[in-house]
A and B are shown apart, each in its own frame.
Chain A
Amino acid sequence: MSLRILVGCKRVIDYAVKVRVKPDHSGVVTQGVKHSLNPFDEIAVEEAVRLKEKKHASEIIAVSCGPAACQETLRTALAMGADKAIHVEVSEAEYATLQPVHVSKILAKLAERTQANLILVGKQAIDDDLNQTAQMTAGVLDWPQGTFVSQVEPEGDSLKIVREVDGGLEHIKVKLPAVVSADLRLNEPRYATLPNIMKAKKKPMEKLSAKDLGVDIAARIKVVNVAEPPVREAGAKVENVDELLGKLKDLGRI
């Protein structure tokens, strides 16, 4: 069964950036901050490209929901090897409260629209760490899911999947169409090459809105307050184990 893969590509603050909270505590500073493709989504894109290189997939469609700058993120996915992209434009204001529940509905609609039979996403985004999009998308579509995967192998109308679970690896088989979320060890993403970066400029990018897809993205949450984590207090050195035990006793920890 030839795969048509829809890959989620979230634009997030780059992992190397030291994130700062806005002075009014309404969120984090994103203006003038380097953004990139969510690393777990990058792994998902890489896996899709590998599936295509092994002739298991016929087409890869990269998707990103968010403000106009998401198109840059999509170009990265296109440079890695995705065939085309869909940008679902969400305004800055709406994006502040966009949640996996909204994104999963958008992905479900797009799966129908593009006749995708595999949705590949990162297991979580490094900004909000929610880890829900894959699961919810499977729920909305009523498709089987393979989450936290470290290996994917198509076999007939199914996927043989290895999942990273607490205490070991779980081997499962899911029937297509399916939703899969990539874990860290699934692969090591390639670096975009300059020839492919230039070619990606010419690949098609469709622009849609949530409204076009009939998805309601009205806020389900209200951000009350965003605060920095407490600063870690300085530690102290102890001379020996007895002193350590004494200190722990004083603190009532043992």
Chain B
Amino acid sequence: MTSLRILWAVIVREMRRFLQQRSRFFGALVRPLIWLLVFAAGFRAALGIAITPPYDTYITYDVYIVPGLVGMVQLFNGMQNSLSMVYDREMGSMRVLLTCPQPLPFLLFSRLFAGMCVSLLQVYAFLLIARLSGIDLPWQGFVSVLPALVLTGLLLGAAGMVLSSQVRQIENFAGVMNFVVFPLFFLSSALYPLWKMQEASEWVYQLCRFNPFTDAVEMIRFALYGQWQQDAIVHSLLATAVCLLLALWGYRPRQRA
């Protein structure tokens, strides 16, 4: 029972933190919406993109880009969380959490889970606005995508945790964003189908293929249409496990000099 109460408390704290920071909520929505309504409009490809699964017929570019932007929302949320963990550590509120009787892995997982819940709020707000602004998304996809979002939220959150365990000061974070977030996002199937990448360059294509963010995006893409992409799920599960282990290792108790 205590565990559940702690988990609940952490979730509530993260939710409150998120909802009270209006500008963060706003920012989390504006970023993907700009990509969707400005960038995708520029590349609209009104003549259609060739069919690749899970799509049954030709689609416009704005439809293609939605799952990638969902991934982007969760990626940024994961990074934001790790940033706030560094902040919590600097401000000392991390120490309060660590005084709980529960083991450290549980506390870290609670924090991760809470961050994932926050990302769900952001994703659904984004999907709703996208749908209402006329992007052709199936309503039933809003339900079928949930399990995929939970997994990708945990994966990207855990990746953020690994980073936060290694970054000692908030000031270093900008560099991390440049070297982690942008390559992850651009070297993936978020913005362009992989066959398009392969046409351009084989090694870029290979990088994209082995980018776990590609698996996360493809899992979301298929789940939005009620389908499961088995390879993407397996790869995402593996990547999540690896990140969790690395985060645990990074946050292991040790003497500070």
Please say whether chains A and B are actual partners in one complex. Answer: no
